[in-house]
Amino acid sequence: MHIQVAKLLRALALAGPTLLLAGCMDGPFFQMAKWNPYYRKQWAADESYRPTYYTRMESLADLRTSARRLDPATQQRVSAEMVELLRNDSNPLIRRETVRVLAELPNVEAAEGLRQAIGDSDSMVRVAACDAWQRRGGDEAIDILANLVGSDTDQDVRMAATRSLAEFRDPRAVRALGLALDDADPALQYRAMQSLAKSTGKRYGDDLVAWREFVQGGSPPERGGTQFAELLPDWF
pLDDT of residue 45: 52
- Structural contact between residues 61 and 97, judged by C-beta atoms closer than 8 angstroms: yes
The pLDDT tens digits for 101-110 are 999 999 999 9
The pLDDT tens digits for 39-76 are 455 545 554 445 678 888 888 999 999 999 999 999 99
Residue 216 contacts by C-beta under 8 Å, 6 or more apart in sequence?
Answer: 178
Query: pTM for this one?
Result: 0.78
pLDDT of residue 52: 75
Q: Give the relative orientation of helices 92-102 and 123-136 as an angle to the nearest 10 degrees.
A: 0
Stretch among 2-16, 67-81, 141-155 having the lowest mean pLDDT: 2-16
CB atoms within 10 A of CB 208: 17
* Segment 100-121 mean pLDDT: 97
- Structural contact between residues 43 and 54, judged by C-beta atoms closer than 8 angstroms: yes
pLDDT of residue 223: 79
CA-derived radius of gyration, the chain? 21
pLDDT over 90, % of the chain: 69
